[in-house]
Structure 1
């Protein structure tokens, strides 16, 4: 039996740290994108008998790159290749405010027990974690091989726990800045009358479309960590739902944007809607794909905006709509812009290419809610950095085997980390002054060549070999390659900063090291 010990100091009160760990979404926030994904976490926290399910990548860079390659293949093939291991845990020894344990029920280890103890230390908290485990065939392996496997496993554990320590501290700081720590909420409520309690902490219920996507998953988890009730918009045939044949689950709101149907009553007590639904762009830009890309964004946004407007007219409660958009608004290159030069700011007109037209229609649909006083903000998302999707997912397998390089050269790439785009979206939801378009980009855009150099340095791999242009064209077609991969967009982050958002990863190197565990 082997043992791994780890201690993390957090400059927050023990009750606040423990409360965050037991709120829904904590496991999703703690599980690194380079390590796998969360399939299911406990509804009521890690109480005795609760269970959770995750997947694990193989250890190291090649494990993460193999999963990235499988995800990329799944976007163009009718099936997704398997590249992960399943892990199923049960929680026990739950001691409110002090600790809990999880035990592996099934997974790749022979046995696994993870104990957590939360201790007061000065003004902060010491989180002491102990893992006792036995890997398969451990007792039958010769000593040198057993030690080699153990060293490899513990190196991976150090990567995971380093990520978790940073993520926990950053999330708690984010919630503290918005007055969402458990102690802050208790103190505020203690100074309010009972009838004022509903508005003590700002939005209490938030609905999210696109909740199962890469960004939506993290947005829901971050909202859960703030103590906010999250309701996921799920596609259902509402005619069958009304007949009792297809019911939504707990915390779900049924809608069918294709037929223009939405369970309005289930949306009535929602304070904010975060709209992230939309067909993925990563496919060949055929006429049919472009039609679906546009309709999946515009039709659903129109339905949500008009429903919110009607609800606000009949029962005002200061609702808000935070809706997706993209820096594609500005056009892929200078040739696709009307009188716009230099850094791209939110006041500039939209471009003339396909994605600019989609963003224009998308944002116009969201603004329909403003007619009834709904606060509307649209977030123009840049290149999101995560091995789970987007440009990094596409480039990681090539860099892992030493043949990575820039996709283009001098064009500017406005990127943002996965944590920062999720954080900025939630910040807009919780900030009453946030209105209109906001660029969802980090403050330091880079050229395509500089991006490749930075990724190569983080991975300790060469980065000089240019990626052949036929690769993106093969996957996306000539138009898709031009508007996505070869886009030249230097977008400003000033409005996000002016609204008070504090970027976790202001530089590309910080972002890549975090999401890749390097």
Structure 2
């Protein structure tokens, strides 16, 4: 029982081991399709303790074994118990995970995982395929940053607890950067600062090299007057005030990166290829995004490098449309939406993180940047790919009135039925590397079918 899994990553041994010691490493390695989250990372691979959250408030305790600690070649963790909530996971019997690292000719590193447990290898294999791919791709992202001359930075992030923000902060900290989380509540940790969107404190961004602004109310839902107001009010003025705070701050940031959306191109653009220079479209979201990007004006006018990350439809097992579609397709109820002819401009979650990362360190990027994969697909092809990944049929087309029942006419038109064929022209021009250029690969990685 258990598993032995190994791969070679083209990075030096010391670098690979150091990555595992940094905050965020465990978050980057937990598969997104599993009902598990990081509650607390270990403070030491020698004898620290990591805590994972499970459904029902249960806890998985990974206790590191000092006897198995041999840096930079090995560390070991075992399943432990520290109270009633940690006892049920022990029904699996036992778990001892040995992480081993060895140099290989040419400067790469052999990464080997050996797990002694009652769980069979077939059940564990998708997890370790995912983990090794994440490690290799994250190290490659950090190598790209170093090759561009990026030094360790202090980066302030709003929306750090969200789907994108939590993954992004983990990626950044594993690269040796310090992340300051700008939070609405009273700061509780050393790397938190309280952010009042209506009146940012004068010292909010003191000592910060770059800002990544992700905060904003979800656009999902019926486009009622109240929901539309929340979408606008959570974006326009908070962004303008934060941009002004960046300008006014002593020893403040030189880079201001703000979330944006491909909604600026309008909801019905047909087969037209849309790049960053394309004219804006029509509709509520186009109006909001135009004003949202304009709200970064104070920073741009003051000479800060400003990047507006126009994000496509994010593919993430833990959130967004994929989280909603997965159970439907698993039940055999998935299918194209309407005619299926509409274009879907998508991006894998980890590729989106890489775009934000590059926006911080690559001086060649400024203004709007399309954060989409280089291969947009039609809705019918997206549903076929998802069905293949999940080994299910996709035979039941969703009638056009379905989204209208859930989202209302305007919401359905601008969200579910949007037709936008967007390409990442600026990223292509700077030679940006995408982890997942094909929709099927992105879905397989997120859903554990790689």
Question: TM-score if structure 1 supplies the norm length?
Answer: 0.80
Flag the 1:201–1:454 CA change in 2: closer, same or farther, 3 A. closer
Deviations 1:208-260 (A, max 9, x none): 11111111111111111211001111103xxxxxxxxx443221111121xx1
Deviations 1:261-304 (A, max 9, x none): 22332411110100111111122211111101111111221121
Deviations 1:36-82 (A, max 9, x none): 343334264534223232447xxxxxxxxxxxxxxxxxxxxxxxxx6
Separation in 2 of the partners of 1:40 and 1:318?
30
Contact residue 306 and residue 369 of structure 1 kept, 8 A? yes
The answer for the alignment partner of 2:391 in structure 1 is 460
Aligned counterpart in structure 1 of residue 244 of structure 2, from 284, 306, 311? 306
Flag the 1:39–1:89 CA change in 2: closer, same or farther, 3 A. same
Contact residue 163 and residue 319 of structure 2 kept, 8 A? yes
Contact residue 378 and residue 437 of structure 1 kept, 8 A? yes
The answer for the alignment partner of 1:90 in structure 2 is 63
- SS of 1:100's partner is strand
Equivalent pairs counted in the alignment come to: 437
Displacement, 1:10? 1.8
Separation in 2 of the partners of 1:54 and 1:501?
35
Q: How does 1:13-92 map to 2 (within 5 A)?
A: 13-42=12-41, 44=43, 46-55=45-54, 86-92=59-65
The answer for the alignment partner of 2:83 in structure 1 is none
Q: How does 1:349-498 map to 2 (within 5 A)?
A: 349-408=279-338, 409-498=340-429
Question: Which ranges in structure 2 are unaligned for 5 or more consecutive residues?
Answer: 81-85
Q: How does 1:134-173 map to 2 (within 5 A)?
A: 134=118, 150-151=119-120, 154-173=121-140
The answer for the alignment partner of 2:266 in structure 1 is 331
Question: TM-score if structure 2 supplies the norm length?
Answer: 0.92
Displacement, 1:417? 0.4
Displacement, 1:476? 1.9
- SS of 1:267's partner is coil
Separation in 2 of the partners of 1:334 and 1:6?
47
- SS of 1:442's partner is coil
Structure 1 residue runs of 4 or more that deviate by more than 6 Å after TM superposition:
none
| Cα RMSD, aligned residues only | 2.1
Alignment partner of 1:174 is 2:174: no
Contact residue 301 and residue 362 of structure 1 kept, 8 A? yes
Question: Which ranges in structure 1 are unaligned for 5 or more consecutive residues?
Answer: 57-81, 135-149, 185-199, 237-245, 336-340
Flag the 1:117–1:211 CA change in 2: closer, same or farther, 3 A. same
Between structures 1 and 2, the one with greater helix share: 1
Deviations 1:10-50 (A, max 9, x none): 22211010011111111111111112343334264534223
Contact residue 187 and residue 193 of structure 2 kept, 8 A? no
Deviations 1:95-139 (A, max 9, x none): 3312222222325233322121212222222222222224xxxxx
Contact residue 23 and residue 45 of structure 1 kept, 8 A? no
Alignment partner of 1:114 is 2:92: no
Contact residue 117 and residue 127 of structure 1 kept, 8 A? yes
The answer for the alignment partner of 2:109 in structure 1 is 125
Flag the 1:162–1:503 CA change in 2: closer, same or farther, 3 A. same
The answer for the alignment partner of 1:290 in structure 2 is 228
Aligned counterpart in structure 2 of residue 270 of structure 1, from 190, 200, 208? 208
Flag the 1:101–1:266 CA change in 2: closer, same or farther, 3 A. farther
Contact residue 97 and residue 113 of structure 2 kept, 8 A? yes
